[in-house]
Amino acid sequence: MNVNETINIKEEISFFKDDYSFVFYCKEELEKTLAKTSRNNLDYMKLYVFLHLVLEISLSQLFRQFVLGNIYLHTSDKNLTTEEMDAKDIQEKFETLLHFVPVADINKLKEWYCNFAEKRNKILHGHAVGEKWINGVGKVTKIKDWFNETEVVNHLKCYNEVVDLVRDSIDKLPAFTDSGKKDMKNILYNF
């Protein structure tokens, strides 16, 4: 009796495409906004929100891959499951690297991420954009102050610092080969 068996692993590795589809959309929208030579208020809001989404989705996917790669991440008594990792916010995910990354770097990541997230949080949580009028006096809001090219450059620099430090941290992880580490680093985008 001759039995031929075909194994199709495409479905098993297709998570890359499926998990990343929204991050690809955000990246494309961000690239369109960055390519504009003149931006209006909506463009600035989209830029800050999409940049944050690209970072957060990419970091979440990256940490999920760490768990799937059986890296022992810092917990009290065991390695994390993907569900446990998904339940953590980004700052808590940074703390799981404590076995491999110096505390100073973890604190730097958390600080940069906090500063970076402020723009997205204020925009998405309905803070005023434009001017506030108090007792007949108009005052430009903090969000409106962010609508300039200098602020965009500073924000992109902060984004890239977070990405670069996370990429440097990947090199300290013991469970991946050099090519695996390269694949992990490619999950993150630079702008």
pLDDT in tens, 115-137: 888 898 888 888 777 766 677 77
| Residue 147 located in a structural domain | yes
Encoded tokens for 43: 């463009």
| Residue 7 located in a structural domain | no
* Strand pairing category for 131-134 and 137-140: antiparallel
pLDDT tens digits, one per residue of 153-167: 999 999 999 999 999
The share of the chain scoring above pLDDT 90, in percent, equals 27
| Residue 125 located in a structural domain | yes
Per-residue pLDDT, averaged over 139-150, amounts to: 87
| Residue 2 located in a structural domain | no
Helices (H), ranges, 87-148: 90-95, 103-124, 142-145
Range of the domain at 178: 17-186
- Judged against a pLDDT cut of 90, whether residue 173 lies above it is answered with no
The C-alpha R_g of the chain, in whole angstroms, comes to 20
| Residue 4 located in a structural domain | no
Total structural domains in the chain? 1
Give the integer Cα–Cα distance in Å for 75 and 61: 19
Q: Which stretches does DSSP call E strand in 27-177?
A: 131-134, 137-140
Judge whether 53 and 90 are in contact, CB under 8 Å.
no
Alpha-carbon torsion angle 157, 53, 30, 112, nearest 10: -10
pLDDT tens digits, one per residue of 103-118: 898 898 888 888 888 8
- Judged against a pLDDT cut of 90, whether residue 178 lies above it is answered with no
| Residue 191 located in a structural domain | no
Q: What is the pLDDT of residue 156?
A: 95
Per-residue pLDDT, averaged over 170-177, amounts to: 79
The torsion angles phi and psi of 137, rounded to 5 degrees, stand at -110, 125
| Residue 182 located in a structural domain | yes
Q: What is the mean pLDDT of the chain?
A: 80
Neighbours of 152 (CB within 10 A): 19
Judge whether 132 and 144 are in contact, CB under 8 Å.
no
Q: What is the pLDDT of residue 78?
A: 60
| Residue 89 located in a structural domain | yes
Greater model confidence, 134 or 179 = 179
